Structure 1
Amino acid sequence: MSYSESVEQAISNIKQQTVLMQRSLNNRKLMDALKFTSAMLTELRNPRLQPKQYYELYIQIFDSLTILSAYLVENHSNGHHLADLYELVQYAGNVVPRLYLMITVGTSYLKIPESPREEILKDMIEMCRGVQNPIRGLFLRYYLSQRTKQLLLPGDDKDAIEFNSQFIITNFIEMNKLWVRLQHQGQLRERDQRTKERKELQILVGSQLVRLSQVVDDNLELYKVEILPILLEQIVQCRDVVCQEYLYDVICQVFPDEFHLKTLDSLLDTSLQLNTEVSVTKIILTLINRLNGYIERIQQNNENKETNGDESKSENVPKDTFERFWKHLLKLNEERPDLSVQELSGIILSIMNLSLTWYPNNIENLDQLFDLVSQKCKDFGEEKIDDSESFMVDLLTAQNLEIVKDFSVYYFNLITQCGSFQTLLSLQSSQSQMEVLTTIINSFLDRIMSVNLKQTEDHNESPLLIISKTQLERFLAILEPMITLKNTIKGNDEGDETIKREFTLSRYQEKLAKICHFLIQRLDKSVFKTIESEIELLLMIKNAFHKGGKNIRYTYPAIIANFWRMIRKCSIYKKRIIKKETYYDNLMKQIFKYISRCISDMFNNCGNSSMDIIYKLNLQNAALADQLSLVDISYDFFSEAFGVFEESLSDSKTQFQALIYMAQTLQKTRSLYKENYYNSLIVRTTLHGSKLLKKQDQCRAVYVCSHLWWATEISSIGEEEGETTDFFREGKRVLECLQRSLRAADSRMDNVESCELMVEILNVCLYYFVHGDEQNTHVGVSYINGLIELIKNNLKSLRLEEEQRLSEIDATNKDSNDGTLGQTYNKNQYVMGLDGTYIKLGNVNNSSSANTDFMIKDMKINDMIQVPIMHFNRTCEYILNQRDIDNRFKTVVL
């Protein structure tokens, strides 16, 4: 009988023949049932069936044959002796139906107690050799395996176990040969299709190894001596990539971890004999994952025993597992010198995972691995970069290793204890180095953040302390690629590129500045007990950062900030240890010299691009020295700041802001009152303010400088108004500044801004009027009234201009044909900032220069006129409110 033309017809035929078979069995017509069964089995001879289709038919037939098998067992003693039937079915015409029937009858016979089990099993497995078609043969032997699953020789004696295991191994070997043969059938262009089909059938072969593991159970000796050598030999001899990868993986998965540990050398040696196209990385990873599961189970068992108080001996972790993998790795590298860096990195990452799992505190193992990869990178040279860049980043950062719970601890140990790590990193491309270093630094910064949130370091965690100069040197060596990295931001042309490079903060330099604080915080105080030792290490960091060239404009401020911290520490020790007062004074002076050296380096290396930060650093140092009563040092830093201002700050807006910052700093100083230093500096500041290019800047700078002659209390240092008597105050100079400021405002040709400046001066006058009496400040009622009258007169002219403009708008509205209203003015829409720019209310926090320019272009003349008018109205409202509090304000004429 021939087979059906389609799968649907085949399924229909199988169902039909199954019904006929069951009907015959019910009527006790066994020969008819066997005839229908044979017709049904003919469908499995169809050569056009794909693996999935064949499996679908196989499942249908398996269920039908199960019905037949059950009938044969039940009726064995009722006229259908299975021994005779076993001989009878072997006369079937076609080999496929014949063997399926023989296996069905034979396995049914095995269920009878008096059956010759061993002879039948041997006969069936030998007869299966009659089908050599790969797909038909695979399913036939798979059927034999399924039917004999519970029917092998009973008992746990050695002979039974050996026979059963040998039966399964023989079946496995034949199935594997058929499976491999499938790859070599058909035309060459169908090779990919056949590979796909083979992968669909691989579970049939793998099932034999699953059965074998169940038979072997915990018999390590049998597995080690009899079974594993045969399996490994079969894997090596087939020389098929798909087969070798799959079977090696199945062996690792189905047999116990303890077996793999005892036979590790055999498994590793076999991996060296596989086809060169086999992924060694995948094989090693599979094996390591199993062994990691084993060690985790041991550790958990030991913890449970300790928890339960079990006095039984805990299981020991084998000490030579890494060494065995290491020897294998060296042998692999020797025998496969063509192995790419990418493949080697994957294997080493797997072995790293094993080492960190089994021996978490052994950094020497990692050092060996990194050293091997370094040698491999040197051998391949530049060829390695394109193919293995991402793999090398994964290897160096270990981000894919779940065993690493705290990366900050992991990286800290690598940097301080593993010299090969830095060597390997230095061999990578600049992009890879930045990626690795960014990951490392982020882990440290995240740790700082988490510790700050918890307020204290967890004693159960590693404190990550730097205990020697050597460790710090290793840290700095690791960071060197980032330190020396040039800012490569590109502009539209050469000039634009230069500007962007100078004024754009590189994210890498930002991280370096942050890591500087981390390194200083991590110094072990039990080792570096003195401030001098901390200074020495900070100087090491400074010298390392100096290699960055112009980048020091971003990193040196972090160095200087740590010098400030040490100066503060010296100040505290000076107060506590009176007898060492001179010592700490000298030490503070020396630290200030180091700071001065840092600022000089920034000036020499960075030029004009860093003048703003240099100026501010000088003022901050001057303020700190003043707080510590180091008068000469404070004066020197102020002088340096003036030098930068006079020689390097040329932009008018920058000069104005710089003078405001200078005035703010000087106003808070106290120790400079001695030796007339303070008077000299504030006169110089005011003089510079009066010489600014723009009149409005002159006006504002000078009235701000008036505060330098009228010091106010600083509550943080214990000063209180009315109780502190040593304030520096010269009211006459205050009035002179206000008068000079008023002259500059009056000379401003823009009437709107001139009025605004006068209102600002009026506000300053009211400040002095509130915080002092007329005799001291020289800012009296007559001066304020005169200024108010001047402002009123100027505002009248502005209002006339405004009324003229509004009348023109009204006329335009009346003449409009569409009946719509003209622009309605909101008199509260704009205010003027200290730098003279107009700011739209509601956008105060978004008043960048770009936004300001846009708003100025949008502003109408009426908008501008309203700015000083509304400002003056607010000031008048303040004066009226103050009359209820201070009677002196009643003499102010509005």
Structure 2
Amino acid sequence: MHGIQSLHVLKGPVREKEKREKERSELRDLVGKNLHVLSQIEGVDLDMYKDTVLPRVLEQVVNCKDELAQYYLMDCIIQVFPDEYHLQTLETLLGACPQLQSTVDIKTVLSQLMDRLSNYAASSAEVLPEFLQVEAFTKLSNAIGKVIEAQVDMPAVGAITLYVSLLTFTLRVHPDRLDYVDQVLGACVKKLSGKARLEDGKATKQIVALLSAPLEKYNDIVTALELSNYPRVMDYLDNATNKVMAVVIIQSIMKNNTYISTSDKVEALFELIKGLIKDLDGSPVDELDEEDFKEEQNSVARLIHMLYNDDPEEMLKIICTVRKHILTGGPKRLPFTVPPLIFSALKLVRQLQGQDGDVVGEDVPATPKKIFQLLHQTIEALSSVPAPELALRLYLQCAEAANDCDLEPVAYEFFTQAFILYEEEIADSKAQVTAIHLIIGTLQRMNIFGVENRDTLTHKATGYSAKLLKKPDQCRAVYACSHLFWVDDQDGMKDGERVILCLKRALRIANAAQQMANVTRGSNGPVTLFVEILNKYLYFFEKGNPQIYSAAIQDLVELIKTEMQGDMATPDPSANAFFASSLRYIQFQKQKGGIMGEKYESIKV
């Protein structure tokens, strides 16, 4: 019995509320129709609306003190009267807003008003002077400030929504007034000041909308970088959303192929995307999803190539600015961000190729030497990661660039650093094989070194080659070293004696591998090594190396045939095909005739 009585008690207020809302809805429809009729009456022109109709209607709205009624009436006024009337009576209409009940959904009313005015402005270029004449932006901005001040309990999302609407209005009506856009962002910052980062998802979404609007309007991040309050608004985003917004900014740059061409703008840009550049508020990078993290850092790497200026001095400033920021990124980020910076700097080096000058102080003009010093320090940062294989590759790239700039001491220093990394940091056997071939390949392309420096480096390279863990790897690295002593376009680098020493050493290693063939044999086994060495003999034979005799090639051919036909031989189709192709080549050269044909004549295949 008691429960039934309680239910009746509860139902009473519910029914009463439903009844009130129904009455209000009917009243709204009635008032709305009356206002609509009023707007259609002949004789209700702008002057009558301004002097009589609007003041009387607004007086009724303010005095009724009912939040729903006030909202309905304001909404009706905005919907039924012409846009031109609203523009010409903006101050009067907006003046009523702060006087409404604090619980009125004024943000929706004002948003609808601004949306109507935006569409009106877009309808014809002829009406734009009217907006300037009545100072529509200033009036709307002041009104929003007063409403937010009057409604002290308005949640952050409500205030931000108002600023989004105002910004949308500004971008459509006054796209050339960046000061207006920055003013809106500044007002938003003022409203949010004193608050921690927003945790409210709806408010965060509105801030993203606020920040995205200028990017979408201008399609040019450079314009957004001129807005001093843009980064201050971003600071109120939580870390995850901050990074999402940073990615949106980078995507805008890539999509519009926008080059950022001054160090000041690069500084401003990196302030915007700092959520991708370093850990914010101690958020450890280990907590991030690995795939998301890689994609974020790859986007930063792509961005670095969009920072460019033809002027070497400004470009060097840009490189220094980027370097300052990315070196704060920590060990997980550096392997992604250091390489594009290095290649950007090397591009500048190529531009300055041929210029020289000692590095003295910070004010020295951009010279290759100065940039190489910066590159050396930057690659060193990878040692803390550690990423020795990546650092070694970058040192070798720099060595090659220094070679082209005719800077022997610099090139030698980069090679020295690469060798130190190889000796002290690269322990994995596969990584060693890759590294030694990179070293040999780079050294082969160098033409700047004097006899002493070149001998030191080639001696080290051949020594490391012979110490690789697996015999086949040793063999291939050693015969690759033969090219260090015979470079076609350099007369001073044709040492036939040292070439043959490398090839004979490779043969000895291949023979040693053959001794172990009973234990391990496969497609990359000893016979393949012999065929590879045969091809090296043929290469240098054709290049005119006086130490390579046709008899030696003949002996090698016979050795391979014997190995392939031996009792212990395991069928190896790829090696057989490789050898058969080599023999066909010898036969082809013999049949071709001429001087080369005569050289090959004594070789029997």
Q: What TM-score results when the alignment is normalised by the length of structure 1?
A: 0.59
Partner residue, 1:642: 419
Name the CA distance, whole Å, in 2 between partners of 1:240 and 1:877.
Answer: 100
- Change in Cα spacing, 1:434 to 1:565, as seen in structure 2 (3 Å) is same
> How far off is 1:880 after superposition?
2.6
> Residue 61 of structure 2 contacts residue 74 of structure 2 at CA under 8 Å; is this kept in 1?
yes
Partner in structure 2 of residue 893 of structure 1: 604
Residue in 2 aligned with 1:629? 406
2:604 alignment partner AA: V
Name the counterpart of 1:441: 250
From the superposition, tell whether residues 573 and 730 of structure 1 become closer, same or farther in structure 2 (CA, over 3 Å). Answer: closer
Structure 1 stretches lacking a partner, 5+ long: 1-184, 303-313, 452-462, 492-496, 578-582, 714-724, 803-864
Tell me whether 1:214 sits opposite 2:40 in the alignment: yes
* Matched position secondary structure for 1:671: coil
User: Which gives a bigger RCO, structure 1 or 2 (Cα 8 Å, sep 6+)?
Assistant: 2
- Do the aligned partners of 1:272 and 1:332 also contact (CA within 8 Å) in 2? yes
Seen in structure 2, the aligned counterparts of structure 1 residues 260 and 740 have a Cα distance that, compared at 3 Å, is same
Contact 1:393–1:435, Cα closer than 8 Å, also in 2: no
Equivalent pair of 1:520/1:538 in contact (CA under 8 Å): no
Q: Structure 2 length normalisation: TM-score?
A: 0.85
SS at structure 1 position matched to 2:327: helix
Contact 1:762/1:784 (8 A) holds in 2: yes
Q: Which residue of structure 2 lines up, in the alignment, with residue 358 of structure 1?
A: 173
Of residues 264, 284, 287, the one that matches 2:113 is 287
Distance change in 2, residues 1:800/1:791 (3 Å): closer
What corresponds to 1:602 in structure 2?
Answer: 382
The letter for the 1-side match of 2:297 is Q
Residue from 225, 232, 235 that aligns with 2:51: 225
User: Aligned equivalents of 2:250 and 2:430: distance in 1?
Assistant: 38
Distance 1:236 1:747, change over 3 A: same
Partner residue of 1:415? 225
**Are the aligned partners of 1:412 and 1:464 in contact in 2 as well (CA < 8 Å)?**
yes
Cα distance change of structure 1 residues 364 and 301 upon mapping to structure 2, 3 Å threshold: closer
Shift of residue 708 of structure 1?
Answer: 1.1
**CA distance in 2 between partners of 1:798 and 1:505 (Å):** 56
For the Cα contact (< 8 Å) 2:507–2:533, is it kept in 1?
yes
Q: Deviations over 1:783-812 (max 9, x none)?
A: 11211222112212378755xxxxxxxxxx
Q: Which piece of structure 1 moves more, 629-638 or 228-237?
A: 228-237
Task: Give a deviation string over 1:426-450, Cα, whole Å, max 9, x none.
Answer: 23211111111111121112222xx
- The change in CA–CA distance for 1:586 and 1:439 in structure 2 (over 3 A counts) is closer
Counterpart position of 2:268: 474
Q: In the alignment, does 2:218 pair up with 1:406?
A: yes
What is aligned with 2:140?
325
The answer (yes or no) to whether the contact 1:611–1:649 under 8 Å persists in 2 is yes
* Structure 1 counterpart of 2:530: 758
1:809 corresponding residue in structure 2: none
SS in 2 for 1:419: coil
Q: What residue number does 1:849 align with?
A: none
Matching of residue 871 in structure 1 with residue 578 in structure 2: yes
Hey, what's the Cα distance between the residues in 1 that align with 2:232 and 2:93?
A: 32
Map of 1:519-668 to 2, 5 A cutoff?
A: 519-521=307-309, 531-550=312-331, 551-571=333-353, 587-603=367-383, 605-607=384-386, 610-668=387-445
Inter-partner Cα distance in structure 1 for 2:228 and 2:419: 48
- 1:187 deviation in Å? 7.0
Q: Which of these residues, 50, 62, 76, is aligned with residue 250 of structure 1? A: 76
Q: Does 1:507 align with 2:301?
A: no
Query: Which residue type is aligned with residue 478 of structure 1?
Result: L
Which one-letter code corresponds to 2:105 in the other structure?
Answer: S
Identity among equivalent positions (%) equals 28
Letter in 2 for 1:266: T
CA displacement, residues 855-893 of structure 1 (integer Å, 9 cap, x when unaligned): xxxxxxxxxx32322222222233333322242334322
TM superposition shift of 1:472: 4.3
Residue in 2 aligned with 1:709? 485
Distance between the aligned counterparts of 2:447 and 2:12, measured in 1? 97
RMSD between superposed Cα atoms in Å: 3.3
Name the CA distance, whole Å, in 1 between partners of 2:421 and 2:13: 83
Provide the residue aligned with 1:134 in structure 2: none
Q: Is the 8 A contact 1:281 1:347 kept in 2?
A: yes
**Contact 2:527–2:575 at 8 Å: present in 1 too?**
yes
Q: CA deviation at 1:594?
A: 1.3
Per the alignment, in what secondary structure is the counterpart of residue 598 of structure 1? helix
Query: In structure 2, what is the equivalent of residue 735 of structure 1?
Result: 500
Alignment partner of 2:306: what SS? Answer: helix
Deviations 1:26-68 (A, max 9, x none): xxxxxxxxxxxxxxxxxxxxxxxxxxxxxxxxxxxxxxxxxxx
Find the residue that maps to 2:250 and give its secondary structure: helix
Distance 1:383 1:869, change over 3 A: closer
For 2:34 and 2:350, the matched residues in 1 are separated by: 76
Aligned equivalent of 2:510, options 722, 745, 751: 745
Number of positions where the alignment pairs a residue of Structure 1 with one of Structure 2: 575
Q: Please report how far the alpha carbon of residue 571 of structure 1 lies from its aligned counterpart in structure 2 after TM superposition.
A: 2.2
Partner Cα distance (1:211, 1:764) in 2: 99
Task: Within 5 Å, give how 1:139-538 maps onto structure 2.
Answer: 188=14, 206-216=32-42, 219-236=45-62, 243-300=69-126, 317-318=132-133, 320-381=135-196, 384-398=199-213, 404-408=216-220, 411-416=221-226, 418-448=227-257, 466=262, 470-485=264-279, 488=285, 506-521=294-309, 531-538=312-319
Q: Distance in 1 between matches of 2:436 and 2:137?
A: 67
Assess if the C-alpha contact under 8 Å between 1:484 and 1:547 holds in 2.
yes
Partners of 2:590 and 2:546 in 1: CA distance:
20
Q: 1:231 to 1:515 in 2, by over 3 A?
A: same
Worse overlay, 267-276 or 280-289 = 267-276
Q: Structure 1 407/698 Cα, relative in aligned 2: closer, same or farther at 3 Å?
A: same
Residues 189 and 711 of structure 1: CA distance in aligned 2, closer, same or farther (over 3 Å): farther
Tell me, yes or no, if the aligned pair for 2:300 and 2:337 is still in contact at 8 Å.
Answer: yes
Higher Cα Rg: structure 1 or 2?
1
